[in-house]
């Protein structure tokens, strides 16, 4: 499809989820926005069902997983569980963004043929 990958010398944009979904949705901004919003809503809604099924009981672990998986909306929900869950959710969200921004450009040359 003639996709241009970001310059490998610079970090990927801050909102990595948007860029990833936009790649999948073929640069349709409305579809991209819908997928990103749906991811957050799904994560915030199904958090208890999934974590209870897996056996996660600790607030810090629940918060971290929520922050990594469904970002800001789940971080807001995590603060309703406890302050620890909210803090770890923010940490998970920040670590996910940082790792995605700096590790992805390094891995992109190796995964580029597989992703196109």
Question: What digits encode the pLDDT tens for the residues 43-92?
Answer: 888 888 999 999 999 999 999 999 988 878 888 989 999 999 999 999 99
From CA 106, how far away is CA 33, in angstroms rounded? Answer: 26
- pLDDT score of 6: 52
Q: Where are the domains of the chain?
A: 16-115
From CA 95, how far away is CA 107, in angstroms rounded? Answer: 17
Indicate the average pLDDT of the chain. Answer: 78
- pLDDT score of 24: 60
21 CB-near residues (< 8 Å, 6+ apart): 32, 35, 36, 39
Which two tokens mark 85?
């869950």
pTM of the predicted protein model: 0.69
Angle at 106 (CA atoms; ends 111, 98), nearest 5 degrees: 115
């Amino acid at each position: 499809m003639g996709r241009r990958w970001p310059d490998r010398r610079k970090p990927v944009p801050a909102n990595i989820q948007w860029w990833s979904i936009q790649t999948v949705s073929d640069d349709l901004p409305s579809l991209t926005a819908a997928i990103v919003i749906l991811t957050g809503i799904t994560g915030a809604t199904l958090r208890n069902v999934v974590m209870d099924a897996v056996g996660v009981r600790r607030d810090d672990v629940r918060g971290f997983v929520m922050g990594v998986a469904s970002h800001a909306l789940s971080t807001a929900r995590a603060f309703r569980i406890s302050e620890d869950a909210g803090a770890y959710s923010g940490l998970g969200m920040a670590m996910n963004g940082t790792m995605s921004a700096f590790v992805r450009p390094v891995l992109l040359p190796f995964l580029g043929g597989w992703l196109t």
